[in-house]
Amino acid sequence: MALKRYEIDELKQKVVHVKKRGMDLIRDPMLNKGSAFSDKERDEFNLYGLVPPHVSTFEEQIKRVTENYRRKDTDIGKYIFLEALHDRNEILYYALLLKNLEELTPIVYTPTVGTACQQFGHLFRRARGMYISAKAKGDFKKRINNWAEDEVDVIVVTDGSRILGLGDLGASGIGIPIGKLSLYVACAGIYPSKKLPVVIDVGTDNEALLKDPLYLGEKHTRIKGEEFYEIIDEFIVAAHERWPKALIQFEDFTNDHAFPLLNKYREKLLCFNDDIQGTGGVALAGLLASMRITKEKLNEQKIIFLGAGSAAIGIADMIVAGMMEEGLSKEEARKRFWFIDSKGLVTSKRGDKLAEHKVAYARNEKFQKTLLEVVKSVKPTVLVGVSKQTGAFDEQVVREMKKHIDTPIIFALSNPTSKSECTPTQAYEWTDGNVVYASGSPFDPIKYKGKTYSTGQGNNMYIFPGVGLGAIVCQATKITDSMFYIAAKTLANLVKEEDLKKGRVYPDLNDIREISAHIAFAVCEVAYANGIAWTKRPENLLEFIKSKMFQPIYLPYKAV
């Protein structure tokens, strides 16, 4: 959503009152304009001599940082460059990110952020966010008061236990909340000063980190059981007390903790888990958009999941909510799902003790070991891959699926690209071009029999920033599944016909600000309709939401 000229001019009527002078101002990343301080500002804020003589335009600065960014020849080099920019000039950082979202997201977030987390102790330069150490149990409130900002809108918190597909990275997992919050700002215009990345350091079971002299977290194994929940609870209570309106997003907790934590807090305060609900929302949106291509109904689909972890259950729960909107009962909807985990089909009589989150979807039927067997007997319409098993949707499986249906829907969502259950090229070839395919990681457009297809990427960043923005703007008291459902439906409706024709079930990422604003609008409407918003509905809600979004442009400064 590029701002129109008159909107920029209107914004520039606003003046920022600034107390800092000289180097203090230059060293403040929220206020620094670098070589773009005007002559008037240089005079008023004692900056003459401290910056080069030429007064750069914002466009010149963007050109310079873009050039420097592209000169870096490794992804981790690009990450370090961007974080350094983030540390010295936040407005320029967000302007660059928003302008080049598709190019920069794989650096700021997955996959490169994963590498940055793995090397965190070795790359560390300047602290960002909060490190809440379990050792300080009983004293969290005091620590939380050390954060300078009285206004916080979004807290993204992890315990570093399951960072992307990389496992336990302990305190080094802080890179994930930092990256997610950058996307909140870029995609939904959350104010940079109102975001708070947090890692709760309960130790790590990662032997390599425990032995690494440069590891920056607490050097002990993970605290588990009741004590773990007490630690998280102390943090949640203290953070909620200081910032009662803030949204808390749980991120990259292992499944055994992710589900219980979400269930414990979801009715009590404004929170959600992106790995579960955000993933569910974005996958449901893709499926709803697929229905626009196949002209079928969601409640008629038979869906096999390869993988039964947090992503799988989150997606299934959200599709169940969608099927219920189309008239099925919860039980009827759940009967349309088959889950396969590392042991085979998830059934109630399989002989092992099923993890809590799988029980609701356990089938009451004969156990089958392989995906191919299940595909043969179920004849699914949709295949969802969230198993991290490269190539698991092989030619035999896909051809078997195609035997029973005109246009299979195949979502190979495992990340990174190398873990994908099948590639778009394979999916198109094995179905003779009759497939709706979406991925978890980006793929270049492909050509099949003279036609070009582009792959929609089921990226959570389509959903979570808009949901968060909506919740913050109306001051919702909680995040409900209906909010995610409506977010998914809004996103699916924003996919243009021309995208669907190319096989893309997600909209253009370059429209992300407009997308987030519309999702926020829909989320606010749910909150107002259900009486769970603290604010009164503004007359022109969409305009109001847009007016609340941070824009990465320089505003004039006035000395105070």
Which residues in this chain contact ligand NAD in the complex, by CB under 6 A? 165, 255, 275, 279, 282, 306-312, 340-342, 386-389, 413-415, 419, 440, 458-460
State the Cα–Cα distance between residues 200 and 198, nearest whole angstrom: 6
* Catalytic residue selected from 78, 180, 388, 402: 180
State the Cα–Cα distance between residues 158 and 198, nearest whole angstrom: 7
> Is 180 marked active-site?
yes
Instruction: Tell me whether residue 284 or residue 328 sits nearer to ligand NAD (CB atom).
Output: 284
Instruction: Tell me whether residue 171 or residue 386 sits nearer to ligand NAD (CB atom).
Output: 386
Query: What is the nearest approach in angstroms of ligand NAD to the Cβ of residue 121?
Result: 24
* Catalytic residue selected from 69, 79, 93, 109: 109
With beta carbons less than 8 A apart as the criterion, state whether 443 and 417 touch: yes
* Cα distances (Å, whole numbers) of residue 301 to 333, 337, 408, 484, 516: 9, 9, 10, 20, 28
Instruction: Tell me whether residue 18 or residue 392 sits nearer to ligand NAD (CB atom).
Output: 392
Q: In 89-215, which ranges are continuous DSSP H helix?
A: 90-99, 101-108, 112-118, 120-123, 140-144, 175-188, 207-211
Q: In 189-278, which ranges are continuous DSSP H helix?
A: 207-211, 225-242, 255-265
Instruction: Tell me whether residue 273 or residue 477 sits nearer to ligand NAD (CB atom).
Output: 273
With beta carbons less than 8 A apart as the criterion, state whether 425 and 452 touch: no
Which helix (H) or strand (E) is 196 found in, with range? strand 195-201
How many helices (DSSP H) and strands (DSSP E) are in the chain? 26, 16
Instruction: Tell me whether residue 98 or residue 463 sits nearer to ligand NAD (CB atom).
Output: 463
Q: Which residue has the tokens 């590639």?
A: 423
Question: Can you name the residues that pair with 227 across neighbouring β-strands?
Answer: none
Query: What is the nearest approach in angstroms of ligand NAD to the Cβ of residue 273?
Result: 10
3-state secondary structure of 33: coil
With beta carbons less than 8 A apart as the criterion, state whether 520 and 469 touch: yes
Q: What one-character-per-residue DSSP string does 485-509 give? A: HHHHHHHHHTS-HHHHHTT--S--G
Instruction: Tell me whether residue 236 or residue 311 sits nearer to ligand NAD (CB atom).
Output: 311
Instruction: Tell me whether residue 74 or residue 418 sits nearer to ligand NAD (CB atom).
Output: 418
Using CB positions, name the residue nearest to ligand NAD: 309
Query: What is the nearest approach in angstroms of ligand NAD to the Cβ of residue 106?
Result: 13
Question: Can you name the residues that pair with 340 across neighbouring β-strands?
Answer: 306, 345
Instruction: Tell me whether residue 36 or residue 176 sits nearer to ligand NAD (CB atom).
Output: 176
Task: Write the secondary structure of 353-409 as one string of H (helix), E (strand) and C (coil).
Answer: CCCHHHHCCCECCCCCCCHHHHHHHHCCCEEEECCCCCCCCCHHHHHHHHHCCCCCE
Q: Which residue has the tokens 């403040």?
A: 28
Amino acid identity at 503: G
Report the catalytic residues. Answer: 109, 180
